[in-house]
Amino acid sequence: MNWQELANQLRQKLDGQVLANAPMKHHTTWRVGGPADLLVIPQTVKDVHETLIFTKHHQLPMMAIGNGSNLLVLDGGIRGVVLKLGGGLKSQYLDGNFLIAEGGAMLPSLARMALNGSLSGLEFAVGIPATLGGAIVMNAGAFGQDIGSLVSQVEVIDFEGKQQILSRDELTFSYRKSSLQDKNIIILRATLQLKPGISEDIAASMEAKLSFRNNMQPLEYPTAGSVFRNPVGDYAGRLIEAAGLKGHSMGDAVISTKHANFIVNRGNATGREILTLIRTIQERVFEQEGVMLVPEVLIVGEER
């Protein structure tokens, strides 16, 4: 299939970007990943609609991602169309105690908007490099809080082009999970319900959380955040450290010496190297602690 020709055709229908054979290492926070046959970064909801129509007409597989911050793309890349909301679909505004934003809006930006409006609730999200849509699907959280607890409603579109609004009562959220997971849907817009607060207190809470992240997490290297979910009553990082794996490496992929639940890319790590470390951690922790760690990151694409 001539992906460049398909990219040219789709590009004429959209305001956003369309890239053929786009290396996903440029579109994930881990900075690894082979090429997507077609990468679309929509600027409008109409762009999303047009992409869905185009994809269906050409019978192409499709995947929607946020900012690529919770994603391991393997070295063979992704077949078909990748719709990346991060970088597009990012309008956001306040309406009373509600924050309404498109699915590609970034959580730190939303947290700052809430602060400017003296609204509390999003302080925990100020350091999470995720889109609103991706965060809701995965129920992203930190410091004992999560985005799902704030969701009032979401506007979604499925891969067939059907659009609908789902109220809070139609959604369920649990630890790093939501009822929207594993469904062929894209979050176009969401409404978060916040609470009035004192801006000085909100700002102080955000600064404290950012400081904690800087001290505890290896932010100087590309990562995908926490690699594994915390088991009930324990911490993945503690288990990995207890298994003696801190600093263990595979090529340029290294289990962080700062926080064992992070795998960092020291420069030229590959998807295979990171995947090997993930499997090594699972095997070693299971052997020594009897706990099978479950990845928090999504592993997608093909091996080379």
Q: DSSP code of 124?
A: G
- For 139, left (φ over 0), alpha (ψ -120 to 50), or beta? left
Catalytic residue from among 31, 50, 176, 284: 176
Nearest alpha-carbon partner for 132 in 179, 71, 85, 181: 85
- Active site residue: 50, 102, 273, 296, which one? 296
Catalytic status, residue 273: no
User: DSSP strand E in the chain: where?
Assistant: 17-23, 35-41, 62-65, 71-73, 78-84, 92-95, 98-102, 119-120, 141-142, 145-146, 151-158, 163-167, 173-174, 177-178, 185-193, 195-196, 249-250, 253-255, 263-265, 298-300
The secondary structure of residue 59, as a DSSP letter, is T
Q: Reply yes or no on whether 176 is catalytic.
A: yes
In the block, tokens 């649990």 appear at 174
Phi and psi based region of residue 183 (left: phi greater than 0; alpha: psi -120 to 50; beta: remaining)? beta
Residue 168 among the catalytic residues: no
The alpha helices in the chain, defined as continuous H runs, are 3-11, 45-57, 107-116, 132-138, 199-216, 236-242, 271-289
Single-letter code of the amino acid located at 7: A
Catalytic residue, candidates 226, 256, 273, 284 = 226
Active site residues: 176, 226, 296
